[in-house]
Amino acid sequence: MNINTLCIHGSEDKSHCTGSVSVPIYQTATYVHPAVGQSTGYDYSRVQNPTREQLEITLAKLENGVDAMAFSSGMAAVTAMMELFKIGDHIIASDDLYGGTHRLFCSISEKNGISFDFVNTSEASKIAEHIRPETKAIFIETPTNPLMKVSDIAAISAIAKQHGLFLIVDNTFLTPYFQNPIDLGADIVVHSGTKYLAGHNDTLAGFLVTRTAEISEKLRYIYKTTGACLAPFDSWLVMRGIKTLAVRMEKQQENAIRLANWLCQHPKVRSVYYVGLPTHPDFEVSLKQSRGFGAMISFKVDSEQTAIQLLQRVKLVLYAESLGGVESLITYPMLQTHADIPKEEREAKGIDETLLRLSVGLEHIDDIIADLEQALA
């Protein structure tokens, strides 16, 4: 089934005879047992809920995985995933990560006895240099947040398999519409469902999608035990969002390509980070492993004063955290998404006072450009 069709029809609940086109919201915490030792298949909503189950079936289909688990947020999903590891384990991770993931790894996971090496995973050859006997996994974002580096998933998968490591890929920016990491060798795919999957800035959600039943069984046990499952109403909201994922991603990408090219010509813009530009150093890798480039752009302006002026003057583009919704959002990573990373470390990565991150929405592109033009004047 074509992915455009799957987005619309992947969540149809045919187990009931009401004829409802929309999957019902099963707003219940518990379920009646038919008799002693018997179950309807649902016992307690922390373990499974029919609404959430349909969403998980859809995500597994979209990512070509065997299973998907829906969590209360993207960070809840990553936190549960980290329970696969134990004291003494070592993980290699992309050195340009979403600030919340970096914070979790450095303030929670390290406290729990797990160590990390942060590596530029867009250079796959550097990964092997950091593998040691206690290494258990490679965790990558591609494209990364906020500098839009692209990692070669298939090449890294070959390294992971050679050394018996899990490969975990955060696919939030491109979504399964543009990229399928499991097809390229990933073992676990992570999503912040809050972003493009839900698509309307109205709910939080997170997902883990697995390549094998063995990994799924381990994560389902952790999921049931730790309990950060997605509520029925939020599951319904994400399902509703996914129905328009294909058309949203196509239009937002179209806007992003035009906006990235406009930014490249602006006299106050010094650098533009967008994987859809042929000048991007990882452009060829993107062409090889993805069906599109997405709608996330980061750019540097000529001064801190210009950055602050832009944030204070925008009217249509909203100065807010998050991304992936129908509204265009602009973020100041050094103060928002990456504020908890030490200043020297952050600036060494290029996340400084002049860097802005833009999630391009569905407004008319001429209006987006006009707003940024007046804000940069």
Q: Which residues carry out catalysis?
A: 46, 98, 170, 195
Any residues with CB less than 8 A from the CB of 12 and at least 6 apart, and which? Answer: 21, 23, 54
Give dist(CA 98, CA 93) in Å, integer: 11
- Kindly give the pairing relationship between strand 90-94 and strand 135-141: parallel
Query: Strand locations in 225-353, DSSP E?
Result: 269-273, 296-301, 318-319, 329-331
Q: Which amino acid is at 78?
A: V
Terminal CA-CA length for the chain = 48
Which burial class, exposed, middle or buried, applies to 115 when counting CB atoms under 10 A from its CB (0-12, 13-18, 19+)?
Answer: middle
For residues 249 and 106, is the Cβ–Cβ distance under 8 A?
no
What phi and psi values does residue 74 have, to the nearest 5 degrees? Answer: -60, -40
